[in-house]
Amino acid sequence: MGQTRLVAALLLFGAALFAASPFVIDAAPYESTMGLIQRIFYYHVPAAIVMFASAFVCGIASAIYLANRSPRADRVAIAAAELVVLFGIIVLVTGPLWARKAWGVWWEWGDVRLVTSLVLWLIFVAYMMLRRFAGPGSDVLAAAVGVFGMANVPFVYWSVNVWRTLHPKTTVVRTLAPEMLIPFYWCFAAFVCLYIALLLLRVRLEKSRNELEAVYAEIED
Amino acid sequence: MTPGFFRTAWIVARKDLVVEARSRELVYTTVFFAVAVVLIFSFSFVVDAKPLTDAAAGILWVALAFSGTLALGRTFERERQSETLKALLLAPVDRSALYLGKLIGMLAIMSMVVAVVVPLVVVLFRVSLDGVFWHLLALLVTGGLGFAGVGTLFGAMLNRSQSRDVLLPVVLYPLTVPVMIAGVSGTAALLTAEPNLPRAEVWLSMLVLFDAVFLTLALWVFDAVMAE
């Protein structure tokens, strides 16, 4: 039951960090040019980092699954893929909210991170659709999407980066004052705790589901 | 005696080409579909009887992607009708060679589409290919290879899945976003009044890198996935 305790501890710790985060963010200095909206940054950036990390977790787990068909790697891959979509929603909602205030537009094709996040999110939505609708054999199919999705990240980033030079550039000043780093790391820790707890829980759910299916199959035989 | 790697690939490709040469089903339907796509887009992007600048490149690549998806779906549909893909996989040959053979067959179809759609776009959108022809051809070859390379892998894997017709584009389009960006941007740099060759070459180098990485991955994944 060691893992249950770990999950509970992570959830509790993460929840406590989240509960306290508004106060910590409030204590940070007020950003003069962007004002209040700058504070979205403290949720947006950690969610984005966790999203990209999760894509790599899924990609690596998928590659392992393709290589040796370990059921455990498959469970990690599906959990990580779902979390890419989940944290991606946070990123793709908070990003435009911030952009509307800071740049005056909801969507900026010139921002490489925004576009890369969208493409990555779409790839993992496709991953989930495959798992849901492709029927038998969808596990290997989805694993291939996981591997290709991970390999795609540098290409998408690079191509959007070169592509945007055709468009007016938006310069974002992202030099953080030390006082702003504290709430940033605080929220980052909260997101990482939440991510690990959700990943472990989801892997376990998938494991129970597999076991249940195996039992059903046995009864029918 | 089993044939070598490239020989196997060639046998598979030749089989596809012979089937196609007899029915001409894929070439006719795919090329006509691509023409229809170009026309539909022409009605959207010709304003006041004048084509929008830069629209030509986008339309060319969208027509290629759409008709390529259609051809992929159809070519594997054919393999499924009499379970011939399974028979191919049972053959005592290198499975990666089967992938390569299907890919060559796919590229042959797509080059037919290119041969019709490019002149059509040139005429309809009043662009000139003077001095940029070889650059454009290189972009189309590398871009088509990247698109068909990823597409052939997922087309083959989706062969026995449910809702494969809709799942193929759902998976393929996000994964080939770099190909579309590079293809469209590179082509747009060429199809202007003052072509920017160095810019097109930057995109070309990206496509070459994309092809190298994803074809290697596809060969490995195809071998791993089709093992059972």
A97 in B contact zone (CB under 8 Å) = no
Distance CA A5, CA A11 (A): 10
Which domain does A200 fall in, by range? 8-25+40-166+178-220
Q: Count contacts between A and B (CB, < 8 Å).
A: 90
Three-state DSSP state, A28: coil
- Which of A141, A156, A160 comes nearest B157 by C-beta? A141
pLDDT per residue over A107-148, tens digit each? 877 677 788 889 999 999 999 999 988 878 888 899 999 999
Interface of A with B in 155-174 (CB under 8 A): 155-156, 158-160, 162-163, 166
pLDDT per residue over A49-59, tens digit each? 999 999 999 99
pLDDT of residue A31: 66
A33 occurs within a structural domain: no
Among B114, B105, B119, which Cα is nearest to B143's?
B114
Domain count for chain A: 1
A74 occurs within a structural domain: yes
pLDDT per residue over B163-207, tens digit each? 888 899 999 999 999 999 999 999 998 988 888 888 889 999 999
Q: Which helix (H) or strand (E) holds B51?
A: strand B50-51
The residue type of A68 is N
Which domain does B131 fall in, by range? 5-225
pLDDT of residue A172: 46
A34 occurs within a structural domain: no
Residue of chain A with shortest Cα separation from B176: A152
Range in A31-35, B57-61, B95-99 with the lowest mean pLDDT: A31-35
A109 in B contact zone (CB under 8 Å) = no
Mutate to test the interface with A, among B89, B139, B153, B161 (most CBs of A within 10 A): B161
A140 in B contact zone (CB under 8 Å) = yes
- Tokens of residue B153, six digits: 């892998």
A182 occurs within a structural domain: yes
A176 in B contact zone (CB under 8 Å) = no
A76 occurs within a structural domain: yes
Residue of chain B with shortest Cα separation from A166: B185
Range in A78-82, A212-216, B124-128, B166-170 with the lowest mean pLDDT: B124-128
**Cut 0.90: pTM above it:** no
Q: Which helix (H) or strand (E) holds A133?
A: helix A112-133
Domain count for chain B: 1
A171 occurs within a structural domain: no
Alpha helices in chain B (DSSP H): 5-23, 25-45, 55-81, 84-90, 95-124, 133-157, 164-175, 177-190, 197-225
pLDDT per residue over B4-35, tens digit each? 888 889 988 998 889 888 988 888 999 999 99
CB A218 within 8 A of CB A90: no
Q: What ipTM does the predicted assembly reach?
A: 0.87
How far, CA to CA in Å, does A102 sit from each of A30, A60, A170, A193?
15, 36, 10, 29
Residue of chain B with shortest Cα separation from A154: B178
Give A30-81 as a DSSP string: PPTTTGGGGGGHHHHHHHHHHHHHHHHHHHHHHHHHHHH--HHHHHHHHHHH
Distance CA A120, CA B51 (A): 33
Q: What is the mean pLDDT of chain A?
A: 84
Residue of chain B with shortest Cα separation from A65: B224
Distance CA B2, CA A34 (A): 69
Interface of A with B in 47-66 (CB under 8 A): 66
All residues of chain B having their beta carbon less than 8 Å from the beta carbon of residue A130 are 161, 167, 170-171
Q: How far is A106 from chain B (nearest CA, A)?
A: 22
pLDDT of residue A28: 73
A203 occurs within a structural domain: yes
A2 occurs within a structural domain: no
All residues of chain B having their beta carbon less than 8 Å from the beta carbon of residue A123 are 174-175
Interface of A with B in 76-95 (CB under 8 A): none
